[in-house]
Chain A
Amino acid sequence: DVKVTQSSRYLVKRTGEKVFLECVQDMDHENMFWYRQDPGLGLRLIYFSYDVKMKEKGDIPEGYSVSREKKERFSLILESASTNQTSMYLCASSPRRRGTETQYFGPGTRLLVL
């Protein structure tokens, strides 16, 4: 079974803090993704990584950065958290084989920025 884990289920941070969200997958997947989920908006892609040290902006990258130093780990960084970044953050991974885009999700991190 694919396992995707996220470092925290719930986080409370203050405006201006630097926030790190960690994601680890154990299936040797090349692709990893960070989404945020907001009611009525579904999942919006923040960043995508298709290999170690490789990254690509998604639909809403502003205010976020990412790091992929090892294949199994993909970190999302909020350089200076703001209240509009309060959201549910979901990490996913998938193998990079054409025609097999099934993504496997972690349990999510609910972030509250005060």
Chain B
Amino acid sequence: GEDVEQSLFLSVREGDSSVINCTYTDSSSTYLYWYKQEPGAGLQLLTYIFSNMDMKQDQRLTVLLNKKDKHLSLRIADTQTGDSAIYFCAESITDSWGKLQFGAGTQVVVTP
């Protein structure tokens, strides 16, 4: 399958903003997703953006979508130690009736 690419690691100081980047491949994707995985747990849906939007804000989270460059980013404002986790971006696969293509995940470590 096609690849969704993310950097593997991000270190950020508590209170700073984190920006996690992702490039995807399917220009026809309907939705793009961000999931969070805390240690030893399953994936939890954080937020998603419909492909006809270029920005979505939800409390401390801001998702930016650049369709021309197929680039998705997640900004976490005022990063807290509880934000330490692996973050996955995912794109819906056209005409697949439910399948998602996931990136490899970005490990975010928040330091005091």
Taking the nearest CB of chain A, how far is it from the CB of B54, in angstroms? 18
- Do B45 and A104 have beta carbons less than 8 Å apart? yes
- Do A42 and B103 have beta carbons less than 8 Å apart? yes
- Do B99 and A45 have beta carbons less than 8 Å apart? yes
- Do B97 and A50 have beta carbons less than 8 Å apart? yes
Picked from A35, A45, A96, the residue with its CB within 8 Å of the CB of B97 is A96
Distance between Cα atoms of A108 and B86 in the complex (Å) = 15
- Do B105 and A107 have beta carbons less than 8 Å apart? no
Residues of A bordering B, CB below 8 Å:
4, 30-31, 33, 35, 40-43, 45, 48, 50, 59, 90, 92, 94, 96, 98-99, 101-108, 110
Residues of B bordering A, CB below 8 Å:
1, 8, 30-31, 33, 35, 40-45, 48, 88, 92, 97-100, 102-105
- Do A99 and B41 have beta carbons less than 8 Å apart? no
Picked from B1, B48, B104, the residue with its CB within 8 Å of the CB of A102 is B48
- Do A106 and B42 have beta carbons less than 8 Å apart? yes
A contact residues around B99 at 8 Å (CB): 33, 45, 48, 101
Distance between Cα atoms of A30 and B35 in the complex (Å) = 21
Closest to A48 in B: B99
Distance between Cα atoms of A92 and B105 in the complex (Å) = 17
- Do B30 and A101 have beta carbons less than 8 Å apart? yes
A contact residues around B98 at 8 Å (CB): 30-31, 33, 48, 50, 94, 96, 101, 103
A contact residues around B40 at 8 Å (CB): 108, 110
Given known A105-B44, A106-B42, contact A98–B97 (CB-CB < 8 A): yes
A contact residues around B30 at 8 Å (CB): 98-99, 101
Distance between Cα atoms of A90 and B44 in the complex (Å) = 12
Distance between Cα atoms of A30 and B92 in the complex (Å) = 17
Taking the nearest CB of chain A, how far is it from the CB of B17, in angstroms? 24
A contact residues around B102 at 8 Å (CB): 35, 42-43
- Provide a sorted-by-A list of 30 A–B residue pairs whose CB atoms are within 8 angstroms: A30-B98, A31-B97, A31-B98, A33-B99, A35-B102, A40-B8, A41-B104, A42-B88, A42-B102, A42-B105, A43-B88, A43-B102, A48-B98, A50-B97, A59-B1, A96-B98, A98-B30, A98-B97, A99-B31, A101-B92, A102-B31, A103-B98, A103-B100, A105-B35, A105-B42, A105-B43, A106-B42, A107-B41, A107-B42, A108-B41
